[in-house]
Amino acid sequence: MSLNLEGKKEVVSEVIANIAKAQTMVLAEYRGTGVVGMTKLRAEARAKGVYLRVIKNTLARRAVEGTSFEIAKDKMVGPLIYSFSEDAVAAAKVVNDFAKGNEKFVITLGIYNGKMLDEAGVKALANIPSKEVLLAQLVGLLQSPISRIARVLAAVAGQKSEGSVDAAPAAEAAPAPGSAA
């Protein structure tokens, strides 16, 4: 269905609003992907906070003008689905996971931090743990020395208390120096 001028302006402004918040953009060719598969992809994208849209390439080119994603303007050809995410890896992860099970769904390119990524780059980006996982790992690393010190101190305290309790019965059982046993 063809959009009138007002409809096209709405689409472009919606995409611009999502691009303004995005760190990552991933483009994929969806030719031959079924409706059921696309519905699953859209549901997964929604759940992960990824903005996913099939739009005309001319409208997409207008939307990316003046942004860090503008470097991909020449590559916006063919039937593409555009995905944007605030999280640096979410868009790449969603698209890459879907592409693994659908050979007709082909990752074309990605852009992260103003740099264009090929399919291998998008896959590498997708394999980076999410922000939450990285933060949890950092907290674990920071807690590790503290918990080790706490365990050592607890062990030392346990040994001291065991040593003082065991020393008293040993002293009573041992014969006094100079006495006949």
**84-94, pLDDT tens digit by residue?**
998 888 899 99
Q: pLDDT band at 26, cuts 50/70/90? A: very high
Residues 85 and 166 in one domain: no
Question: What is the maximal distance between C-alpha atoms in the chain?
Answer: 114
Measured distance between the N- and C-terminal CA atoms of the chain, rounded to whole angstroms: 109
> How many domains are contained in the chain?
2
What pLDDT sits at residue 2?
Answer: 65
Check residue 112 and report its DSSP letter: E
Q: Distance between CA 36 and CA 160 in Å, rounded?
A: 67
What pLDDT sits at residue 134?
Answer: 82
What pLDDT sits at residue 170?
Answer: 47
Residue 178 belongs to some domain of the structure: no
**140-168, pLDDT tens digit by residue?**
888 788 878 888 888 888 888 776 555 44
What pLDDT sits at residue 29?
Answer: 93
What pLDDT sits at residue 181?
Answer: 47
Residues 38 and 81 in one domain: yes
The 8 Å CB, 24+ separation contacts for 121-128 are: 122/26, 122/92, 122/95, 122/96, 123/92, 123/96, 125/24, 125/88, 125/89, 125/92, 126/89, 126/92, 126/93, 126/95, 126/96, 126/97, 128/88, 128/89
Instruction: Name 159's bridge partners.
Output: none
What pLDDT sits at residue 39?
Answer: 92
**108-134, pLDDT tens digit by residue?**
999 998 899 998 989 988 888 877 888
Alpha-carbon distances of 90 from 51, 121, 130, 173, rounded to whole Å: 10, 14, 7, 70
Residue 176 belongs to some domain of the structure: no
Range of the domain at 26: 5-128
Q: Distance between CA 138 and CA 172 in Å, rounded?
A: 53
Query: What is the number of other CB atoms lying within 10 angstroms of the CB of residue 57?
Result: 16
For 81, the token pair is 């689905």
Mean pLDDT computed over every residue of the chain:
84
For 17, the token pair is 């609003």
Residues 49 and 10 in one domain: yes
More confident residue, 53 or 148: 53
Check residue 117 and report its DSSP letter: E
Residue 73 belongs to some domain of the structure: yes
The helix (H) or strand (E) run that includes residue 163 is helix 131-173
Residues 145 and 65 in one domain: no
